[in-house]
Structure 1
Amino acid sequence: MEQITLSIVMPCLNEAETLATCIEKAQRFCAEQQIAAEVIIADNGSTDGSVAIAKKLGARVVHVTEKGYGSALRGGIDAAKGTFIIMADADDSYDFYNLNPFIEKLEEGYELVMGNRFKGGIEKGAMPFLHRYLGNPVLSFVGRLFFKSSIGDFHCGLRGFTKALYNKLNLHTTGMEFASEMIVKANLQGVKIVEVSVVLSPDGRSGKPHLNTWRDGWRHLRFLLLYCPMWLFLIPGLILMIPGLLATAALVTGPVTLGSITFDVHTLIFASSFILIGFQFVVFYGLTKVYTIENELLPKTNTYNRLFKYINLEKGLLLGFLLSLAGLVLGVLAYNYWKELGFGDIESGNPMRLVIVSVTTMLLGVQIILFSLFFSILGLKKK
């Protein structure tokens, strides 16, 4: 039996108008290039005769019951027998007769070959204005920023990769964000990625596109944020905590006047709130990082492995206890000051400042204790 080198996978949901054209182009390309290949139609519940068209043309049909673009592709790729996989939509927006750039790069040793529509050309009417000038550029920029990637077109539907890479990436998403998940995980694992220019033509279907601008755009952005908790939690947390700490340190001994404006205990309350809110963000960064790594959503790194040597339950409990104790001591001092005032006005002078700092310190101590316990629970799998 001949070994299959290439599997061309097309997700399909009612693509009867364009499916035959896509299959025939793919088959003609493989025949002319003398590539042992198969064309797989990952059908996601078509009711317009797409399945019959695919079977008539000799394509292999894989029925995928779980709905979604990502689900259909995963079903088709799981069933693929080729060493190399090329995936693209079945709406005739990509040219299946011009796949040589992908084959060449895969044979050179690249594990993921991305198409870039902005380099190759976007024909008139092929991409909506919002997608071309806002959605794709912004989301691709976010992806490059968060994951230090060089990919210019994160959402190009035409891409090639090895079956071995697909098996290693362990992809999970079911919707359009599947396109981002593949790049993000490949980039995090240090995979050899390259881009080639591709041309995007107008969708050959007369019906409404499957892509929903706002819903699918949000799903892409949400995925990028959740896979990079540093930008979602750590950086916002530090932006709140650092100014909060500086302001608290400046105001704890007395009011501060800048020009005609005086900052006093009310500002101190807000500063303390910034510290607590910022710390919550930082805590969620740590918890999210442990959860995603221990559940194999993100790869483990040497930094992560060293983390458990320096941060453990015992150290966290000790630090939390000491902060809580310090807060309690400050509370006692505040009580003594208040007593000296005859239990009168507490809103001015040292008592109120000490009360704010006391409560903030005790809350931080308790949060560190609870965080340490939960952190250790999430890390049990590693241990």
Structure 2
Amino acid sequence: MLEQARGRSGAEPTIIDVARETGVSIRTVSRVLNNSPKVNAETRTRIQEAIARLGFSPSARARGLATGRSYLIGVIHNDRNALVLDTIQRGIVAEASQRGYELIVHPTPTGHDGSVEDVLDFVHRSRVDGVLVMPPVSGVEGMGAALAAAQVPAVALSSVRTSDFTALLVSDERGAAAAVARYLVGLGHRRVALINGPLAVKSASERRAGFIGALAAAGVEMVGEAEGDYDFDSGFAAAEVLLALSPRPTAIFAANDIMAAALLKAAAARGIAVPADLSVVGFDGSMIARMLTPALTTVARPLGDMALRATRRLIDIVEGGSDRTDLAAELSLVEGGSTGPAPV
């Protein structure tokens, strides 16, 4: 049958070939392709078998013409950590491709008043069916409301619950940073410092609040703090400030793995042994944590799984599901070789 189907058109099998093969209408085949409940089980099975036999694969464009959708999912981000973004994209694609959707990635600035307009321009231009909004973009004031007003389904990943988005995947970053503080105190550290991210970003303010709060509860006051921008160069500059303190901190928490990597480099340049002289903790659980020597102790965010679950939620909404259920992500502290008991 495959030979005959190809022979008639000289091209790949089409939906017409599937309909002809099974003796049903094109509309019935289309309903099966779009998981419509309006097809009985026997007919559905017969059509699915014909699709497999003929090797038919509907294009996103063809399905879009039939359903009024683009079968495109937008990912809106402002993450300069390529390793984190790669993990997120892999999680999204794992779910989206199974559901017949393709991915468009849109980096957007968050440091100016045009962020919301930039995102709205993107969704109108690309005709995406829905968007996944990554932090820190998800924390931009008015972003969720603007997408809702434009009738664009959206799921946001966030470190805090917010009324701006009706569909959220929330990770308790304040609680995770507090766990870092308790861990370091448990190792005997009393001279503790922080390399934070930009405080205008919610994830940075949440991590800072959790870390400082848990230290205070343990009767420990930070000996120093420096602000970075979640990139390597700013992390290195912040590390230089903290490592120059006298007495020097015995433990430093860097608010992401990239800045923790910069801290390790700055410590090595000064001849400071990690973890004998200095314990270092990062945040993200990105691939870089395993690449470093010593391997980095870090707060692991299950980024791939988070992205997959958020994508599943978004596609469910696009296809008519409710947008009122929040999801939660569990974070965990993963010990590497960069932490140890406080030096005596």
Higher relative CO (Cα under 8 Å, sequence separation at least 6) belongs to 2
TM range (shorter): under 0.3
So what's the TM-score if we normalise by structure 1?
0.22
Where is the helix percentage greater, Structure 1 or Structure 2?
A: 1
So what's the TM-score if we normalise by structure 2?
0.24
Instruction: Please identify the structure whose Cα radius of gyration is greater.
Output: 1
